[in-house]
Amino acid sequence: MLNKRKRNNKLIDDFGNVKNDLFDFEYIESYFRKKDHSTAFQTLSDKTCNDLDFQELFMFIDRTNSKVGQQYLYNKLRNIPAGSSDNIRNERMLDEFTNNPDFRVSVQSKLNKLNDREVFYIATLFQDEILKPPKWYFVVPLLSFASVLSFVMAFFNPVFFLVILGLSIINIVIHFWNKKNLFNYFSSIPQLLKLNGIAQELYKNDILKEINPNLMKSASIINKVSNRMSFFNLEVKIQSDQQIFFWAILELVKIVFLIEPLFLFGTLKRIDTKRKEIEDVFLFVGEIDATISIASLRKGLNNFCTPKIIDGKKRLFAQEVYHPLIEDCVKNDLKVNDKSILLTGSNMSGKTSFIRTIAINVITGLTINTCFAEHFSLPRMCVFSAIRISDDLMNDRSYYFEEVMTIKEMIAKSKGRNLNLFLLDEIFKGTNTVERISAGKAVLSSLNEENNIVFVSTHDIELADLLKNEYDLFHFSEIVNHKTVDFDYKLKEGKLKNRNAIRILQINDYPESIIKEAIEISEELDKMNMLNSILPIVSKI
């Protein structure tokens, strides 16, 4: 009783806090990797997730109590749904979990029983191809029947004990051949039985029934094959408790009568026809756990909002929006209305972090109905990025070629029916200035067509001038003092006018000769740029 009270108190104390746990993404992602996402509005690509530090974001959001919930939540965050019809129901559940701690803790206590690593394997029972018996398997039931018959006849004629001995030599080979097959399902099948039992307990609550009113049909079908599956529970228990003597006797019986292969392939045959029912139970428990995780996430935030989904127009409004992974993150406001956004500013001033901030809020708003802002309005849109690009040495591709191919995919997506959010950081920085600005302007104008929204950062002030009619210009800036550089990370309207790169070299004690030459060249280039801008005007007079 005392241990139960301690566990419950820990669940209460941990609610609203980041999970202190190890994250095995190979298993967490496995359900997502194998699931059919054809009905999703968009499935986020690995490229976009890498650009947005998705794994770190997931570790911050994940407050689940079970491995089923963890896999379900990961899949939920990677898939933008086509609609938001479940949000009203989920918000009622969120309120119940937040305001009724006794109810929440009782649910969490049940979900905690599904936190063993072996629980990750449940999804393989409805996602992977079930092991099929070999062509010669028909001899197994014949040998088993012969062994049973010989055992009965031995009571009337002892010579049949010799027959049993002969059959056992053959059966021993088959028995140990099957051990590897059996081992593959030792983890998943016992956990499925546990999952099904917990799902039926959770279903007794009226508010949870709304997730799947027909769940008991699926649970009942699984119950019908549970007698065969319970054999796996017995095997696991014997091995874990090291009841050697009983195990040895049981193992002998299983060898003589070929019980293991008969049970295994008989059970797998039934499981293979129950994939939908198993997934129904998996999704039911997963959604409950993911909802508690979102409630815990919101509890731990000083500021959040549920997004307002607007019609598919080129609009996005953010008030006091921030990046959830940046401690004491500076909050900013932004309005997107028929134009895209071009950001200028020096390195480390906050351009890329702000682009990621918008993207993360779009994703969490559309997937878990939660934004890290005071207010966030957005249309339903797909998210594509070209932020973190590197050379692909294995395929002999340069940085520039990788960027070209990534942006080519964006251009193709921009011509589709969906509204898109495109994120780009320092477009075409792998090439020379003239071609970078020329190609950048043409590409960004193309991406901006239709209802697409583009967020792009650049150091090229010329690019900002060329796009000022299609893009709203914003910048981040720093304050350079005598020996320090300070950033306020506040989004400001207009393009960056102050250039402090040479000044930053100066305060970091670069040789005076270098500083002097850099200033002289900079002044000459400014004069050339001014002359180039005047000549076309003069030629027309």
**3-state helix/strand/coil string of 406-437:** HHHHHHHHHCCCCCEEEEEECCCCCCCHHHHH
Mean pLDDT within 350-355: 92
What integer pLDDT is reported at residue 530 of this predicted model? Answer: 47
What integer pLDDT is reported at residue 461 of this predicted model? Answer: 83
Q: What percent of the chain has pLDDT over 90?
A: 50
Q: What letter represents residue 409's amino acid?
A: E
- The full length of the chain comes to 541
Kindly indicate the confidence band of residue 243, based on its pLDDT and cuts at 50, 70 and 90.
low
Kindly indicate the confidence band of residue 403, based on its pLDDT and cuts at 50, 70 and 90.
confident
Pull the structure tokens for residue 443. 């590409």
Rounded CA separation 307/309 (Å): 6
Burial of 1 (0-12, 13-18, 19+ CB in 10 A): exposed
- Minimum mean pLDDT range among 40-54, 246-260, 261-275: 246-260
Task: Tell me: pLDDT of 237 over 60.
Answer: no
Q: Tell me: the pLDDT tens digits for 304-322?
A: 999 999 987 899 999 999 9
What integer pLDDT is reported at residue 471 of this predicted model? Answer: 94
Superfamily of 308-510 according to CATH: P-loop containing nucleotide triphosphate hydrolases (3.40.50.300)
Average pLDDT, the chain: 85
Q: What letter represents residue 66's amino acid?
A: S
| Best-predicted range by mean pLDDT (83-87, 155-159, 174-178, 329-333) | 329-333
Which residues 6+ apart lie within 8 Å of 518 measured at CB? 502, 505
Task: Tell me: pLDDT of 482 over 60.
Answer: yes
Burial of 122 (0-12, 13-18, 19+ CB in 10 A): buried
Distances in Å between the Cα of 103 and the Cα atoms of 97, 455, 507 are: 7, 43, 60
What integer pLDDT is reported at residue 242 of this predicted model? Answer: 52
What integer pLDDT is reported at residue 541 of this predicted model? Answer: 38
Instruction: Give the residue, 312 or 216, on which the prediction is more confident.
Output: 216
What integer pLDDT is reported at residue 539 of this predicted model? Answer: 42
Instruction: Report whether 304 contacts 371 (CB < 8 A).
Output: yes
Q: Tell me: the pLDDT tens digits for 114-144?
A: 999 999 999 999 999 988 888 888 888 888 8
| Best-predicted range by mean pLDDT (74-88, 170-184, 261-275) | 74-88
What integer pLDDT is reported at residue 227 of this predicted model? Answer: 65
What integer pLDDT is reported at residue 510 of this predicted model? Answer: 79
Q: Which residues of 193-219 are buried (b: 16+ CB within 10 A; e: fewer)?
A: bbbbbbbbebbeeeebeebbeebeebb
Percentages of the chain per state (helix, strand, coil), in multiples of 5? 60, 10, 30
Kindly indicate the confidence band of residue 253, based on its pLDDT and cuts at 50, 70 and 90.
confident
Kindly indicate the confidence band of residue 499, based on its pLDDT and cuts at 50, 70 and 90.
low
β-strand pairing of 453-458 with 471-475: unpaired
| Best-predicted range by mean pLDDT (37-46, 339-348, 489-498) | 37-46
Mean pLDDT within 513-536: 63
Instruction: Report whether 390 contacts 403 (CB < 8 A).
Output: no
What integer pLDDT is reported at residue 278 of this predicted model? Answer: 94
Task: Tell me: pLDDT of 259 over 50.
Answer: yes
- Minimum mean pLDDT range among 27-36, 313-322, 407-416, 526-535: 526-535
Kindly indicate the confidence band of residue 540, based on its pLDDT and cuts at 50, 70 and 90.
very low
Residue 378: beta bridge partners?
309
Which residues 6+ apart lie within 8 Å of 436 measured at CB? 427, 428, 429, 460
- Minimum mean pLDDT range among 5-19, 262-276, 527-541: 527-541
Mean pLDDT within 220-225: 84
In angstroms, how far is the first alpha carbon of the chain from the final one? 94
